[in-house]
Amino acid sequence: MEEFKASVFRKVTLRLIPFLVLAYLLNYVDRVNLGFAALEMNRDLGLTATTFGYGAGILFIGYFLFGVPSNMGLQKYGARIWLGLLLSVWGCIVVGMAFITNVTEFLVVRFLLGAVEAGFFPGVIFYLTKWFPAAYRASITSRFMFAQPLALMIGSAVSGWLLTFDGMLNIAGWQWMFILEGIPTIIVGIIAFYYLTDNPFKAKWLTQEEKDFLNGELEREAQQIESKEKVSMWKALLNVKVWILAIIYVSQVIGVYGVNMWLPQIIKSYGDLSTTSIGFISAVPFVVAAIGMLAIGWSSDKHLERKWHMIGAMVLAGGCLVLCGILQGNLFITIALISISAIGFYGCMPVFWTIPTGFLVGGAAATGIAFINAVGNLGGFVAPITIGWLKDYTGSFTSGLYFMGAAVLLGCLLSLVLFAVFQKKEEVK
């Protein structure tokens, strides 16, 4: 039986995860390549650090407003249609970024990108609950989220290189970057319509025995969760644990997007480096993070432990950012500390996303996950704007590093509160 069980989950993993990783890789590249475009685009459009911060952050206002409605659309129409549509449309928007000419267009297009992207990540997290029981989700989610550091590894090097196309056919390097990084997303979106399967019932690539096994496992787990605490779709939005999780996610996202959006410019501040060099140096922290993410996800599932894996990773992330601010002045030390911090950021997130799926199922899971993701990603609005303002006000990135580190460490304290709430509810039962 164990051999059959392992073979089923291996088959599902090999079918779904590589494609979802590719889609998320493109999602992340299309979202954060703005950090590289800024090396030339800010000059061409006359953007200050503060204005750039608003443009980087406004994406997450669209993300916040459309996250829950988009996940409800996925619940209604299925992952195959909905995720394919999202990929295709946001790929077109990314290509459209190449043709902006002023600040207003910059802000509008970034907002639209956030509105369309809003449903992808929470949609996939919910989609994975249709295929994998809770015991597998930290490692499975870490494999899916492996696309984040992978995107930043590849995207950093490729984006830096594409900027060297500057002037070819009278098109700026940052415009080439948006065009050539948006087109693959459109193609993958079209493929998604034909490749993805909504749930095990519709999987022609599974035998009937495999379908029955998967459905039995998932239905049994859903019944166990509902027997402890049944949460309706709309009550999920008022659940205290959902709100605490959303605020914790804000703290994590402040650190992640603060680093992602500003790292190229932080590196540039150390000297007159070429865009290609900046790209390769920027990739280093995410090479390290990719390894750390998989290791932490594997360890969390192996020991069936979430609390200290998540909190420990957040302490590592926040502490190293604060230390980076204290010791800033040497590029090697800065990259080393940001690399260690990145292990914490990307290691805590897969563990984090196992928590809401542990007490939310069905429509409540779709709504709750989307709400946590939408509110949490407001950190992506706060971080670029605050760091841009601090950079213009102080002339350096030091205070921005302190801000990011303090936000993540505050999230650690809220995590302790969250787990205390879980423990109290268990004691009441």
Whole-number pLDDT of residue 226: 58
Select from 30, 46, 32, 43 the least CA-distant residue to 95.
30
Does the pLDDT value for residue 91 go beyond 70?
yes
Whole-number pLDDT of residue 229: 54
For helices 307-327 and 240-268, angle between their N-to-C axes, nearest 10 degrees: 30
- Count CB neighbours of 332 within 10 A: 8
| Exposure of 10 in the CB half-sphere (CA atoms within 13 A) | 6
Burial of 52 (0-12, 13-18, 19+ CB in 10 A): buried
Q: Where are the domains of the chain?
A: 2-424
Whole-number pLDDT of residue 427: 41
Cα-trace Rg, the chain: 21
| 19-73 residue pLDDT tens | 998 998 888 787 767 877 877 888 888 888 788 878 877 888 888 888 778 878 8
What is the residue type of 215?
A: N
Q: Which of 292-306, 310-324, 377-391 has the highest mean pLDDT?
A: 310-324
Whole-number pLDDT of residue 224: 67
Whole-number pLDDT of residue 41: 85
- Compute the average pLDDT of residues 241-249: 88
Distance CA 271, CA 123 (A): 41
Contact yes or no for 313/347 (Cβ under 8 A): yes
Does the pLDDT value for residue 289 go beyond 60?
yes
| 197-206 residue pLDDT tens | 988 888 889 8
Please identify, in words, the CATH class of the domain defined by 2-424. Answer: mainly alpha
Give the per-residue SS3 of 267-336: HHCCCCCCHHHHHHHHHHHHHHHHHHHHHHHHHHHHHCCCHHHHHHHHHHHHHHHHHHHHHCCCHHHHHH
